[in-house]
A = this chain, B = another copy of it.
Amino acid sequence: MPTHHLVEYADASPEVRAVYDDIMATRKTDWINNFWKALANNPATLKRTWESIKQIMAPGALDPLTKELLYIAVSVTNQCPYCIASHTASARNKGMTDAMFHELMAVVGMANQTNRLAAGYQIEVDEQFKTT
């Protein structure tokens, strides 16, 4: 069995189907993307990962679109092509405009730059920023 064998709905166990059904219901969509089909090779990982994401990405103190933007920021910083593609699509579905995307990229790029300037100049944390 290849590493990324994709478990299709038709071939899935009842346990996996239950997760797929919940994904589609929660996301109001009628298909499952490859990420979940790959995780389904290990139903425990599929279930744990989905339930965690469902809880974390639900509306709360931060709205779902902001959470998608954060997901993209992390995925771009980590250079993860699959994650960038899938979460950019999700963010667009949740209302991300072109203008928002461009500003997101500008912030992510700048943060990656200043993170290195702070490290390279060996800058000590200001007393005012210390939390204890």
Contact = CB atoms under 8 A, between A and B. Distances in A.
Interface of A: 1-4, 31, 33-35, 38-39, 41-42, 44-45, 48-49, 52-53, 55-57, 60-62, 66-67, 69-89, 97-126, 128-132
Interface residues of A, dominant DSSP: helix
Given A60-B103, A66-B69, 18 more contacts: A4-B132, A35-B121, A35-B123, A39-B121, A45-B102, A62-B100, A62-B107, A70-B73, A70-B104, A74-B77, A74-B108, A77-B77, A81-B125, A88-B131, A89-B129, A110-B113, A112-B115, A113-B113
A28 to B, nearest CB: 15
A103 B61 contact: yes
Given A53-B114, A110-B52, A116-B76, A84 B122 contact: yes
B78 A130 contact: no
A74 B122 contact: no
Contacts of A38: 117, 121, 123
Given A100-B62, A113-B112, A67 B107 contact: yes
Contacts of A123: 4, 34-35, 38, 82
Given A34-B126, A62-B100, A79-B115, A53 B110 contact: yes
Given A34-B123, A60-B103, A105-B120, A78 B75 contact: no
